[in-house]
């Protein structure tokens, strides 16, 4: 996957399209990411003991990486990433501004 935890991404499909958020969790095997505040799902929590109330909380559900676009931390634009390799290092570069990101 080209995006990692901590990256800022743009949501390009679904009801959160056009919004930006930070990746909180990445699941490389499933190619899914959890983006802060995106794709919220309501979760009902049952009361565990009598007297306690059940609650409804909102949790960010994972979305497929094809639905997000990386936003370059250097130029702030949604961009494709490329990889460059030097003798002992592999790093990501932004194809828009050419900077390591
Ligand atoms: Zn850039």
Question: How much is the pTM?
Answer: 0.82
Give the pLDDT of residue 47. Answer: 84
Q: Edge-to-edge, what's the strand order for the sheet holding 20-27? A: 63-64, 32-35, 20-27, 8-11, 68-70
Condensed to tens digits (0 to 9), the pLDDT of residues 33-66 reads: 999 999 999 999 888 777 788 899 999 999 999 9
Which residues crowd ion ligand 1, with CB under 5 Å?
Answer: 72, 74-75, 94, 96-97
| Locus of tokens 């679904």 | 14
Q: Is residue 21 pLDDT above 90, yes or no?
A: yes
Print burial letters for 50-87: b (CB count within 10 Å at least 16), e (below 16): eeeeeeeeeebebbebebbbbbbeeeeebbeeeeeeee
CATH number listed for the domain at residues 1-70: 2.30.30.30
Give the pLDDT of residue 95. Answer: 93
For residue 100, how far is its CA from the centre of ligand 1 (angstroms)? 8
What is the average per-residue pLDDT within 67-90? 92
- All structural domains of the chain with their residue ranges: 1-70, 73-101
């Amino acid at each position: 996957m080209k995006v990692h935890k901590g990256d800022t991404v743009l949501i390009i499909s679904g009801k959160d399209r056009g919004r930006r958020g930070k990746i909180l969790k990445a699941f490389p095997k499933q190619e899914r990411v959890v983006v802060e505040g995106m794709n919220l799902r309501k979760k009902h929590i049952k009361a565990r003991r009598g007297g306690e109330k059940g609650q409804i909380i909102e949790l960010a559900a994972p979305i497929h990486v094809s639905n997000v676009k990386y936003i370059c931390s250097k130029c702030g634009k949604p961009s494709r990433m490329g990889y460059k390799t030097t003798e002992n290092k592999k790093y990501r570069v932004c194809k828009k501004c050419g900077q390591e990101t």
